[in-house]
Amino acid sequence: MPHYPVPVFLLAQLAVHQDHQGAGLGAVTLAKALETFARIRPAMRAYAVVVDCIDERAEAFYRKYDFETLGTKDGKVKMFLPMNTVLQLYDQA
């Protein structure tokens, strides 16, 4: 990430109820969110998608999908995925 303020999409509150974890719903939800960001990017420019990981399990989840560590704040890891990566996933680069 650049060292100056840049616009980003913040993906907040992505979670799957305990009773349904492990069924792939988190991956499907993340994919749909990223697809939405790719679709709206022409109207709302952003450099990356940013997530705040609530715990180590969430961090491991996002790391599986190539999110990189941005930093730590209040003991929580903040991660990002460049929009160029998202756009390549959805053939919009």
Which amino acid is residue 15, in one-letter code? A
Domain covering 8-15+19-89 in this structure, CATH number = 3.40.630.30
Phi/psi of residue 84, nearest 5 degrees: -60, -35
Residues 1-57 have pLDDT tens digits of 667 788 999 998 888 888 988 888 989 999 999 999 999 998 999 999 999 999 999
Quote the pLDDT of residue 92: 63
Query: What pLDDT does 82 receive?
Result: 96
- Output the 3-class SS for 34-83: HHHHHHHCCCCCCCEEEEECCCHHHHHHHHHCCCEEEEEECCEEEEEEEH
Q: What is the pTM of this model?
A: 0.85
**Predicted local distance difference test score (pLDDT) of residue 6:** 87
How high is the pLDDT of residue 13? 81
Is it the case that residue 93 has pLDDT exceeding 60? no
pLDDT tens digits along 72-90? 988 889 999 999 999 998 8
Task: Please report the sign of the dihedral spanned by the C-alpha atoms of residue 46, residue 93, residue 2, residue 73.
Answer: positive
* Burial of residue 87 (number of CB atoms within 10 Å: 0-12, 13-18, 19+): middle
